[in-house]
Amino acid sequence: MRPRLSALVVAHNEAAQLADCLATLGFADEIVVVLDRTTDASRSIAEAAGAIVIEGAWPIEGPRRMTGIEACTGAWIVEIDADERVPPALASEILSFLTTAARGYAIVPIANHVGGRLIRYGWGAYNGVAAKPILFARGTKLWGDQPVHPKIVLDGARQTLTQPLTHYVDRDLADMIDRLNRYTSANARQMQRSGEYGTLGGHVRRMATRFFKAYVQRRGYREGGIGLALGLFAALYPILSYLKATVERDRP
């Protein structure tokens, strides 16, 4: 007999995505949806899907996600975002895996899409990841309280699944640019809070190495223009964050 499984979704004003996301989670024994400062129809969509809904306001991602994890009653939890989907093949693999899984977590591959197109190469840095630990036993995954890119602490056996999670990262190139702007602004605020800016020269030097890693080592060149954009944005992320932080800091 397999252990009880909870599905967790944390969202903010994701009415356009949430119904499609929740429709792929019917294999779980319960669905928990955490809504952070939501003003759209997300609550009614979640309730229509039979989800347990928790609403609140969390300025930091880690505590928001830990609230959802603590609300889950399953021995295992699958944690996804509103722009992600669990295909039937992955759902079947998860249920089969749980019948014999050791206490710990499972790394799941990610099929990242831009504008509906599967982009296999070039991911990394802030752009997105090729795999992540979305399936875990209760008490084995802890989100940190860092304001930007919170650290995750994992415990127990590290296991791996083969079927990918579908992730709709960006709608188009303009959406990619908007995300770069949001993420660098958030990282700039973190630099200001911590007082750790690095140096202009150091960030300039990192541009070449980060571009090479995304575009060459991770074979972003195979994706044409989107792969080039992933390489460029990976290179620009630290220097743009630095400039936003220091220009604001040095303003008269």
Predicted confidence (pLDDT) per residue in 198-227, tens digit: 999 999 999 999 999 999 999 999 999 999
> Which residue is it, tokens 């070039």?
122
Would you give the DSSP letter of residue 23? Answer: T
pTM for the predicted model, two decimal places: 0.89
Mean pLDDT of the chain: 94
Domains and CATH numbers, the chain: 5-170 (3.90.550.10), 173-249 (no CATH)
pLDDT at 65 over 90: yes
Predicted confidence (pLDDT) per residue in 6-40, tens digit: 999 999 999 999 999 999 999 999 999 999 999 99
201: helix, strand or coil = helix
| Alpha carbon 17 to its chain's center | 15
User: What is the pLDDT, as a whole number, of residue 247?
Assistant: 85
Q: How confident is the model at residue 251 (pLDDT cuts 50, 70, 90)?
A: low
Would you give the DSSP letter of residue 225? Answer: H
